[in-house]
Structure 1
Amino acid sequence: MSEIIRLIVLSGGLLLIMFLLLVLALAVVIERSYLLKKVLRQGKNIHNKLRQVKYQDISGLQTLANESADTLQGHLIATAIASRGEDAEEMEMHLEEEILSATPKITRLLWVLDTVVTIAPLLGLFGTIIGMIQAFNVISSDGGPSKVTGGIADALISTGAGLFIAIIAVYFVNYFNALTRQIMHQLDLIKLILINRTHGQGVGTNEFAARPARILAGV
């Protein structure tokens, strides 16, 4: 414990700030991981159920909307039902409005990780500079070369800590950006399905409808 306190003092207290940044980043990672995976999982389930709803089957859409009323995708279905009397273009605009309104909730707090990626290495470098200044002050006192080099090595811990935090944060930034893109693609797909189910007439035959699955299966 005394060694940790010494290193914190050597970095001018910046090591403590970086530790708090790490805790904040991990809290965001846990919260975003739970929420984004939940939204993606719910969307996959609703998408599969939507594909089974027949064209012009408003009652089927209403049943699905009631079952998923507490989800983002369920709210999208309810919006589609409410605007089904309009033409497809108007309905698309309403659904697009709902998707754009939900986007800030999906990307919420991701800016924190972006900030950590940027600021953690800078804080580490600043802490190293402070530590090196203190180490070189040994030269003007009674310290020898070994104390100077030892002080520099301790000061470099700040840089290492900053880079470590940034590496963790940048991984999850990319991971959450990938999840966000999947969710937005999923919402766009559900939007198109809703437009087709309410204003379309269907593809005509089961053979044609099954063709995409056969293509993907390599048949």
Structure 2
Amino acid sequence: MNMTLDRLTELAAQSDGILYVMAVLLLIGLTVIIDRFWFLGRTISRGKRVTATVAQFAHLDRKTLADLVEKSPRLPHRALLEVPLQHPELKDPHRLSELLEESILWQVPKLDSRLWLLDTIVTLAPLLGLLGTIAGMVKAFAVLGDAGNAATQITGGVGEALIATACGLLIAIVGLVCFNSLHNWTRLIVHQLETLKISMVNRLDAPRAVSGEARVAPGDKRHYGPAIHSVANTGT
């Protein structure tokens, strides 16, 4: 173990400490990867059940929405389910769609949280590796000025210097694969939210209620959407 630590310390010194910085980047990247995979994977699984549950209903009422809200803690889908409960007076499907779209826009930054760190690490790691390699090669070729040094010392120094580049590329490859996967998962959750929005608008068409309170009075020129006008026409 001591030999290994001594060797790693020697390699880090050969790169002017760049390997230490890359180790920190790797730790940050792994933390972001584990956190985002856990959060997004859990959100996709639970959000899929919420979206499928809403799609099973022919019509949604407030009580059903309240039950779904209770069963969706800490989910971005919960924010959409709460919109009709926060606006019980809302009758216009188009206005409801706009409010739901606004709610989705508020949720997207939470889904993308900390992914910028992973994106930065993917770009920065190879550059740092190259910088560490250049620093190592400068030291390796510096021995040319001493006639007593063997050629193997030069080649050995160059080989050690290339380790920094290899580490940078390894970090970038792992980070890129995980970043693309997480980005795809984020898009899938946004698609779930859009699907949930459309499902709610289609099933929360309040003017279709049996109570008849959504009938449009004669001469009322406010726009309530085509679904409300169709109900009004059937009632005359």
TM-score normalized by the length of structure 2:
0.81
TM-score normalized by the length of structure 1:
0.88
Aligned to 2:217: none
1:40-55 paired onto structure 2 within 5 Å: 40-55=44-59
Q: Is the 8 A contact 1:47 1:190 kept in 2?
A: yes
Q: Is the 8 A contact 2:60 2:200 kept in 1?
A: no
For residues 11-55 of structure 1, the C-alpha deviation after alignment (integer angstroms, 9 at most, x for no partner) is 000011101100100000010011111111111110121122231
Query: Which segment drifts farther, 58-67 or 43-52?
Result: 58-67
CA distance in 1, matches of 2:201, 2:51: 13
**Which consecutive unaligned segments of at least 5 residues does structure 2 have?**
209-236
CA distance in 2, matches of 1:161, 1:68: 42
- Of 26, 29, 51 in structure 2, the residue corresponding to residue 25 of structure 1 is 29
**Which consecutive unaligned segments of at least 5 residues does structure 1 have?**
202-219
Identity of aligned residues (%): 35
CA distance in 1, matches of 2:181, 2:10: 36
Q: Is the 8 A contact 1:80 1:194 kept in 2?
A: no
- Of 166, 187, 193 in structure 1, the residue corresponding to residue 199 of structure 2 is 193
CA distance in 1, matches of 2:30, 2:19: 17
Aligned to 2:79: 75
CA distance in 2, matches of 1:148, 1:117: 31
Aligned to 2:150: 144
Deviation at 1:80, TM superposition (A): 2.7
The amino acid across from 1:140 in the alignment is G
CA distance in 2, matches of 1:157, 1:147: 16
The amino acid across from 1:147 in the alignment is Q
For residues 105-160 of structure 1, the C-alpha deviation after alignment (integer angstroms, 9 at most, x for no partner) is 10000001110111000000000000000000111123121110110000000000
1:138-217 paired onto structure 2 within 5 Å: 138-141=143-146, 142-199=148-205
CA distance in 2, matches of 1:33, 1:70: 16
The amino acid across from 2:132 in the alignment is G
Q: Is the 8 A contact 2:122 2:173 kept in 1?
A: yes
Q: Is the 8 A contact 1:127 1:155 kept in 2?
A: yes
- Is it true that 1:112 corresponds to 2:114 in the alignment? no
Aligned to 1:206: none
CA distance in 1, matches of 2:64, 2:9: 64
Q: Which runs of 4+ in 1 moved over 6 A?
A: none
Give RMSD over aligned pairs.
1.6
- Of 132, 136, 147 in structure 2, the residue corresponding to residue 131 of structure 1 is 136
- Is it true that 1:93 corresponds to 2:74 in the alignment? no
